[in-house]
Structure 1
Amino acid sequence: MTPYALIDLATIAANYRFLCDKAGKARCGAAVKANAYGLGLVPVASALKNAGCTNFFTAHFSEALALRAHIKDGEIVVLHGLSKNDFAQALAHNITPMLNHLGAVQEWGAFSRERGESLPAMIHLDTGMNRLGLSPAEQAHLAAHHDLLDGIEIKAWASHFACADEFDNPMTTQQRDRLNSILSQLPSAPISLCNSSGLFWGEDYHFDLARPGVALYGGNPTPHLANPMKAVMTLHSPILQIRDVEAAMTVGYAASHSIKRKGRVATIALGYADGYHRALSNKGTVMIGQHQAPLIGRVSMDLITLDVTDVPEAAAHVGADVTLIGAHRTIDQAADEAGTICYELLTSLGERVRRDYLNAA
């Protein structure tokens, strides 16, 4: 009687191939950070590899090591970079760092020269996010001192779009132009800029290597348009108990829902500890077979309550499967109801939610 997510690996592969077509002449990698956006690092990355992906991006070094244990070839890039203590282990496992500040460039270059080798890295040039990446001042310093790059095999110059999902926002074009400007002063190498949404801005933004993430997992990269991606995950939980209720009764913590008529309330085995946000209390509907039922009361740590008064008893019974995210209610719609984004819902899926895979190789 546990919740589960049903994840279609063939659909993830189909989304990847679609994005490859969108990328045109550019190569298309895959962001598999945060446990492949909550869906399972190893099964997802294996499906992407079988679909032709050879460039994988993780946030942390630990993620890269876990991935390399299963993906023996192909490039794995650590977006957060490495500490000096991890350099030798990264080299031994063929893991590529993203160099995010001038100090990182200097440290990796020194490590390479000490070994008498040219070692691979990507270098992140900030173009407006003001998070990671060489600052404009650091970029200018690097442009004036190319010798700092001695010993570094530049796999790509990288940057990251801030507003590509907002298709009337001029910042995307400004970031592309800033990147082109600084790259005119730096040694030639491949360029990696596009995230999921960036791929939909056209070939002038694609450059050489794209790094899509959420679109692979069914999130809409074009919020102003219908979602071009296919849904890859549905979320389910069984009914634990059904009880009869009378008018004037209340449901759940803070008595936040008042019963208006005689009916039935079902309780299912899912809560905010499983990643179903408390902000979804008293919001949205679920599917029980072919029947919709509203969520009522507070989402608690382990339990959610539903009004199943209008669902036939043959459908709504103890053990019956309840679909919370699926064809009737997409991950983007649920995120909107929660006042957040689908990235957060996907990556919030807890360890207690069993991942079941369709079309595993």
Structure 2
Amino acid sequence: MTRKSFIFTSESVSEGHPDKVCDRISDAILDAFLSEDPLARVACETFATTNRVVIGGEVGLTDEAKMPRFMASVPDIARACIKDIGYEQDKFHHATCEITNLLHEQSAHIAQGVVGGDRDEGAGDQGIMFGYATNETDALMPAPIQYAHAILRRLAKVRKDGTEPLLRPDAKTQLSVRYEDGKPVGVTQIVLSTQHADESQTSSDVRAIVEPYIREVLPAGWVTDETEWWVNPTGTFVIGGPDGDAGLTGRKIIVDTYGGAAPHGGGAFSGKDPTKVDRSAAYAARYLAKNVVAAGMAERCTIQLSYAIGVARPLSIYADLHGTGLLDPSQIERAIPKVMDLTPRGIRTHLELNKPIYARTAAYGHFGRAPEADGGFSWERTDLAGALQKAII
């Protein structure tokens, strides 16, 4: 039987976390290429450490003559990201850190499976992708990860607008949420480590800054006298970001998805154009799972898709309603292909993914965000719920 009473923990990291700095740069480069060419191919990886950023991977444009100009712009894109995040430290500053661009053209052997001839629809790689939704929050996301993200977004806002000038960009938080009868009802542990400006600031000083914002974000009644607080538990945290710890694109895949509450296929998202099903099919799986729950077919839903490189159609579709469904999961599996084309091109078209909408996904989660007018977070729409219901009848 599924447990009804338990404590579950998820973590989030801020936009200034070293890995998230790298995700942001990789996705900003992707956006720049897609702004020029919606059919651009990008697989961009970033590494950051003290006073240095290294960018590598493979890229391609329909008009190859434009490539030198875009290659020349890569360092400026990286510096703009670092500046917007807020790094102006002696050993990691947007104006002075060394940027090395090692991007090169896409492998012809990979490209042949995605474009050209009969294989125009092919997936960019093999793999398995998962999507998940639960009705325990309004965003149909697991509560621990959703509120962990919300805390760090709130702290980033007051840092960047000058309300809290002693906060710095690097931070991470962790929430342990208590469930009763399968629903989140409170927080037993709150962990927050945030970079700050002055070595004289104690953990208590930092808690005094952040606690009002944390209480503001969490639902009423979730923080009680029994809730344990662990704010900067090791003490001073002034040296942060890539100066304090190296960063790499794609290392926060659980933070990016469901905080461990659902499976993950293993592929990272950031820096990959939407021909890469690691990204686009994971978005599609979330879209499908969210619409199943939004349609009232289940309280929880997991969707798995699988692909082979160069093959258009998904090899398998799997649904799990976790014992909360009003119908057999196999009915949903049969309905899904009727309402959405799950070839890579079909996903890109349905969700309008060939747009520069990715830098905004690089921190605070790819899921549980509001759909935006320009197509950002289109996979969070619930416009497929009616079609799913009709396909099952």
- Give the alignment's TM-score, normalised by structure 2: 0.23
Higher Rg of the two aligned structures: 1
- Give the alignment's TM-score, normalised by structure 1: 0.25
Q: Which is bigger in relative contact order (C-alpha 8 A, separation at least 6)?
A: 2
